[in-house]
A and B are shown apart, each in its own frame.
Chain A
Amino acid sequence: MNNSGERLRAAAVGYLNARPLYEGLDREPASGRLRLDCASPSEVARRVAEGEADFALMPVAAAATIGDLRIVRHCAIGARGAVRSIAIVAEQPIDTLDELAIDLSSRTSVVLARLVLRARKRQREPRLFGATAKEAIAAVSGARGALVIGDPALEIEGRFPHVLDLGLAWWELTGLPFVFAAWCGREGALSASDESLLVAAKAAGLGRRDAIADEHAARSSLSSASLRAYLHDAIRYDLGDDERKGLERFYDLAAGAGLLPRARVRFFDDDRRNGATTPSLDSLLGRAADGERLSAAEGERLVSEASLFDLGLAADAVRKRKHPHNVVTYIVDRNVNYTNVCTTSCRFCAFYRPPGHPEGYVLTREELAKKLKEVVDAGGVQILLQGGLHPDLRIEWYEDLFRWIKREFALGLHALSPEEILHIARLESLGVGKVLGRLRGAGLDSVPGGGAEILVDRVRRKIARAKCTSDEWIGVMRVAHQMGLRSSATMMYGTVDTVQDRIAHLIKIRDLQDETGGFTAFFCWDFQHEKGTHIEPGDNGTVLYLRQQATARILLDNVDHVGASWVTQGPEVGQVALRFGADDFGSVMFEENVVSSAGTTFCMNAEAMERRIRAAGFKAARRNVRYDWLTLPG
């Protein structure tokens, strides 16, 4: 329990319907006990997940994803019947829609929409695609509908002939209220007196609903009367036994459909009454092996408490279910580092040279041609082209290079990690979408997932200060995926990261994958500590690698493939990793400059690779970047 003199760090989604709950908190006595920030739902969830907020008013889907949170009784944003602000709209009957434009980042609404649509026993679910509210509304026509949320939903009331209010649909489906958001925090984060501050603030806020509606009306195109009715009648702020049942039903249905981790509804005062109880590790392992979606808290528990064997066998079960043919793939490609000149100076990197350094290079066309010809001659199908952030290479240089490669060589182009894309965007003052569009036009086929390191900014600031933030990395991938470019995802751990950081990383990958489905595969490895790098290794070692990879296989239920990083771990450990959840053995390596500058030098040809795959009990098949088999498994 936080009884220290320090003020609690609170966060809340800053939406209209949340104001009655949080507005009173910036006045005494609450303001002396806590400091409140308003932010977007994803940011609010991130702060709780990464320990930057003690508790938050957050969407219930985000709470389930973090896992093992406690909820404040008596306060919620919910509905008992029609909610008005979350609705599917269309020109034709909702049950006949083929496509639904939707803000995919609003997880609770997306899950609710899916559950409601599934329950209507349609032949098939409409395909969901991501869009802003404005785009979604504009996209409505024929068999294409939109899920509209918040103010825009109120603004278009009455505009479309067919409307499915999701609050009402839930009520009709279950006979229970729906809870959209509630105050959540980790076990022990709030005392009984802290909770009473929140309840008192709510009581005061409910009395100000008319004033809040009027203020909002003045800043929007919505009428005071409509907003007053919305805050008084549509939105319900209670969280009692009925609402708890509604939330429990939502969590049950969502977990059953694989849309959310299985979550329990626990109030802070449940702990105070009954003491905290923890489900057994065995039941958690069983659910992991069954392929259920697990929360971040459950992932942390698995990686911290489960034995190497339990993790390995659960990951193997997941692998087997996803890839029942008992095939492990590999790709014949080559890692080409077009330049080692880089402006970021990452402390873990032994490869880069600063601009002007005598050892800096940019590969010439002749050097490249020689390397690429060797790839073609060896039966290779693509190159992985990455380099430092060179301050003088302009987008035209990349476009020319890509066109030349595509013209001269029959090779896939798996090129430029998000950091390099952002670098080009900054250099050219272009948007990421524009840069990716031009590069794709010049021949880019897919985007490698390097540079993710750990997608937690506290860690990134320590090991790679000049690199992009987590949001920027994810943002580039989101744009790439939305354009139809596939990518891999990676994780480099073992510096200053903790168990929580590594799990948070996996959850961020999983969340984006829910939105875009663009990741083909996940690879992880530990920091390769050798000469020329400037940070001390943290959690490290071969056994930890196997644990991390197995945990990733278990948590990333929506990513098809997990690859063993034999380049960093060695061919021997890479082979063992195939029994810990991996279904891919990565690349036959010609060269890999970045890792080998830090001292790791391994080599393996296709024959040795296949021999190891078979000796691990699998059939081997070559693949392309989309993981299609190029050879018959054998």
Chain B
Amino acid sequence: MSAAFLDSTELTLNMGPQHPSTHGVLRVILKLDGERVISTECVIGYLHRGVEKIGESRTYAMFAPYVDRMDYISAVSNGLGYCLGVEKLLSVEATPRAQVVRVILTELNRIANHLIWLGTHALDIGAITPLFYTMREREEVLKIFEKYCGARLTTHAFRIGGLQYQLYEGFEKDIAAFCGTFPSRLDEYESLLTGNRIWVDRLKGVGILTAKDCMELGVTGPLLRAAGVAWDVRKALPYSGYEQYDFEIPTCATGDTLDRYTVRMQEMRQSVRIIQQALGRIPDGPIIAKVPKVIKPPSGEVYVSVEAPKGELGYFIVSDGTLNPYRVHVRPPSFLNLQSLERMAKGALVADVVAIIGTIDIVLGEVDR
């Protein structure tokens, strides 16, 4: 009698696009051997809006609000990258006052991004409580954005050459108050998660990505730093005056999911440090540099990258000397970091795939653009 009925057959499982823990409309086709993952295949494009193509039919100033809609969790960083790119093309530099305010807002945005990552990642793993607390703190950051520029999520806070809005009354007080209370809130999250045995057991050794893997795949941001490479665009290629601030690049050794959690928690503390330093040194002066009303950069091409909360965010802008950019290419951190899913998920359990997707910290608006 043959035992053919005992042979295990490969099982194909569709995870998403309507799966709550894929953080959007990501579809992952899992090939399973029992509970183990043999291979994964990402299907992306459900949220494709053709942002890069839209850029070709808009003027430089008009396109700025669209970049906010790629990584809508950290819209301020997106806007900063784009504005820096066009400024480099125009050979102008933002005024000193604008630069400091830009640093403050992008670091606040980094905190907001990591907070929503922490809440949703913990929710995926099964810890519901941190989500409520992180959302509460994120709300304070969003209130500051709302008071400063009138929008909470898709802020459009920066303009080419500097800022559009003057600081509102009490801007520094609000941020100082947030920076005062936030580290103790971080301690609260840490007492909920860092020491928690379930949390540690669930994350330790899951989804290991070595430094070599990261470099092969072009993975940047907290994933790379968790693997032990101290690469941060803010330190390596300083922009917006980041070289004046004293902060550290948190790194870890093994590059598993727990390390990435540790790195991001440390990054939030470093962001608070940067904001506190920047608050004391907002210079007076104009908020926007002398930029022509009609922006018509000379023909040429430029690549500018900034350290977005998710990794290196690059803008490659080609100008042909007309009013519209000839080409705007975005190097989105989420898209490149997502490619590491295949390597991390191989041999993992299905439940760990959820943790791995969560730890990459993707936003599908940015993956698909």
Answer yes or no: do A and B interact.
no
Query: Which A residues have a C-beta under 8 Å from some C-beta of B?
Result: none
